[in-house]
Amino acid sequence: MKSTRNFMFFLCPMLVLGFLYYSSGRLHLRTLVQKSQYDKQGFLTKLDGKLPLELQYKYGNLSKGECKPGYAEAKMMSIYPKFSKPAPMFLDPNFKRLSRISSYPPPFGVRTQEKIIDVILAATKRYLLDPELDSLSCKRCIIIGNGGILFNKSLGSKIDEYDVVVRLNEAPVSGFEKDVGSKTTMRITYPEGAIQKPEHYEKDSLFVFSAFKPMDFKWFLHMVAKERLRSMEGFWKSVARVVPREPKDMRILNPYFIQEAAFRFIGLPHNNGLMGRGNIPTLGTVAITMALHNCDEVALAGFGYDMSSPLAPLHYYEKLKMSAIKESWTHNISKEKEFLRKLVKGGVIQDLTNGI
Ligand X SMILES: *[C@@H]1O[C@H](CO)[C@@H](O)[C@H](O)[C@H]1NC(C)=O
Would you say 242 or 333 has its CB closer to ligand X? Answer: 333
Sign of CA dihedral 338, 340, 343, 344: negative
Would you say 227 or 318 has its CB closer to ligand X? Answer: 318
Sequence-separated (6 or more) residues with CB below 8 Å from residue 209? 188, 189, 190, 216, 220, 223, 250, 251, 252, 253
Give yes or no for residue 332 binding ligand X (CB under 6 A): yes
Q: How far is CA 35 from the centre of its chain?
A: 26
CA atoms of 294 and 272, how far apart (whole Å): 28
CB atoms within 10 A of CB 9: 10
- Judged by CB under 6 A, the chain residues 46 through 85 that form the site for ligand X are 58, 61
Would you say 111 or 335 has its CB closer to ligand X? Answer: 335
3-class DSSP assignment, residue 252: strand
Would you say 3 or 61 has its CB closer to ligand X? Answer: 61
Smallest gap from Cβ 152 to ligand X, in A, equals: 4
CA atoms of 95 and 336, how far apart (whole Å): 28
350 DSSP β-pair partners: 299
Amino acid at 248: K
Smallest gap from Cβ 177 to ligand X, in A, equals: 15
CA atoms of 166 and 210, how far apart (whole Å): 13
User: If 0-12 CB within 10 Å is exposed, 13-18 middle and 19+ buried, where does residue 202 land?
Assistant: middle
Would you say 2 or 326 has its CB closer to ligand X? Answer: 326
- Judged by CB under 6 A, the chain residues 144 through 163 that form the site for ligand X are 152
Question: What number of chain residues touch ligand X (CB under 6 A)?
Answer: 7
Smallest gap from Cβ 275 to ligand X, in A, equals: 13
Smallest gap from Cβ 41 to ligand X, in A, equals: 12
Give yes or no for residue 335 binding ligand X (CB under 6 A): yes
Residue nearest ligand X by beta-carbon distance: 278
Would you say 113 or 332 has its CB closer to ligand X? Answer: 332
Give yes or no for residue 99 binding ligand X (CB under 6 A): no
State how far the alpha carbon of 155 is from the alpha carbons of 79, 144, 186, 250, 329, in Å: 29, 11, 19, 28, 33
Smallest gap from Cβ 334 to ligand X, in A, equals: 6
- For ligand X, the binding residue among 172, 247, 276, 278 (CB under 6 A) is 278
Would you say 66 or 134 has its CB closer to ligand X? Answer: 66
- For ligand X, the binding residue among 10, 277, 309, 324 (CB under 6 A) is 277
* Site residues, ligand X (CB under 6 A): 58, 61, 152, 277-278, 332, 335
